[in-house]
Amino acid sequence: MLHKFRYVNPGDRSELLDLLAENGSSAKLLAGGTDLLVNIRGGVQRPQLLIDVKKVKGFQGISWSVTDGLVIRPGVTINELLRDATVRDKFSLLAECAHDLASYQVRNRATVIGNIVNASPCSDMAPGLLCLGARVVISSKRGERELPLAEFFTGVKKTVLASDEILERLVVPAAAVGARGSYRKLKRIQGHDLGIIGVALMKKDGLISLGISSSAPTPVLVTGLHEGDAEEVLVAASRKATSPISDVRCSKEYREFMIGTFVKRLNREVK
């Protein structure tokens, strides 16, 4: 049974920031609810107040410009990202990650930012966003701060966000346009399932980046690799950066093996 909580639906950003500042850790932001409501139902989280982000003026939509890059706001769902022509044309790696997240029905509710803030090690959006050099813009009544997504995750389902802060924008820099990349997710079944592992590989300007999920307490970014590096170098770098565990889905050894296999396959496929 659900415990009792209050629900508010602010239309205004400053109202939302006031509510967060006044209620601290007893409040939770609600986007699609596909993680939060499951946790509340399971008794994992017991917030007293849910603050809906979806109706806040200015929190909807994706925008693109050469100066600001690709800007993803709190209300943007996974399916909205998949429908976006700029994403499909210029950031196809993101579209591949999004397409592998859950089912069509879940993607209709689930937001990109909710997936990032949930900070699950098996997040499907994180590997592509990490490779693309995404940045997070975090706001509170105290002001705004911006940092690389790679510095946002601090542990399993833990981030740098304080209780009065919101992740207001995800920004993929325009410099990432022209990158070639692809995402592979290993699952127990053909249909939708959380990943056993997920690997994104991106090539740009002679460099290679890897984004790897389900292989460490947080999604992992590997940089400093070059096109032309031997496969063994790429595999060794992925091995060094990750620390997979054995769990209900598979063994640590299988994860290690499949990360290496996907890195090699992607390196051959991404031209």
Ligand X SMILES: Cc1cc2nc3c(=O)[nH]c(=O)nc-3n(C[C@H](O)[C@H](O)[C@H](O)COP(=O)(O)OP(=O)(O)OC[C@H]3O[C@@H](n4cnc5c(N)ncnc54)[C@H](O)[C@@H]3O)c2cc1C
Q: How far apart are the first and last CA of the chain?
A: 52
Using alpha carbons, select from 59, 60, 78, 73 the residue that is nearest to residue 16: 59
Contacting residue, 70, 94, 150, 167, with ligand X by CB under 6 A: 167
Give the nearest distance from C-beta 18 to ligand X in angstroms. Answer: 15
Pick 208 or 210: Cβ nearer ligand X = 210
Check binding of 23 to ligand X (CB under 6 A). no
Give the nearest distance from C-beta 112 to ligand X in angstroms. Answer: 7
Could you give the CA distance from residue 35 to residue 46 in angstroms, rounded to a whole number? 13
The DSSP-derived string for 168-233 is: EEEEE-GGGTT-EEEEEEE-SSSSS---SEEEEEEEETTEEEEEEESSSSS-EEEEEEETT--HHH
User: 237, 222 in Cβ contact below 8 A?
Assistant: yes
Give the nearest distance from C-beta 266 to ligand X in angstroms. Answer: 19
Contacting residue, 16, 20, 31, 62, with ligand X by CB under 6 A: 31
- Measured torsion, CA atoms of residues 228, 231, 232, 235, in degrees rounded to the nearest 10: 110
The one-letter amino acid code at 123 reads: S
Give the nearest distance from C-beta 206 to ligand X in angstroms. Answer: 30
Give the nearest distance from C-beta 170 to ligand X in angstroms. Answer: 9
Contacting residue, 70, 94, 102, 220, with ligand X by CB under 6 A: 102
> What residues numbered 191-250 form the site for ligand X, per CB under 6 A?
192, 194
Contacting residue, 29, 199, 200, 258, with ligand X by CB under 6 A: 29
Check binding of 118 to ligand X (CB under 6 A). yes
Contacting residue, 20, 72, 87, 110, with ligand X by CB under 6 A: 110
Q: Which stretch binds ligand X (CB under 6 A): 5-13, 84-92, 118-126, 142-150?
A: 118-126
> What residues numbered 34-53 form the site for ligand X, per CB under 6 A?
34-36, 38, 53
b/e per residue 99-131 (b: at least 16 CB within 10 A)? bbbbeeeebebbbbbbbbbbbbbbbbbbbbbbb
Q: Interface residues with ligand X (CB under 6 A)?
A: 28-36, 38, 53, 74, 101-102, 106, 109-111, 113-115, 117-118, 123-124, 161, 166-167, 192, 194
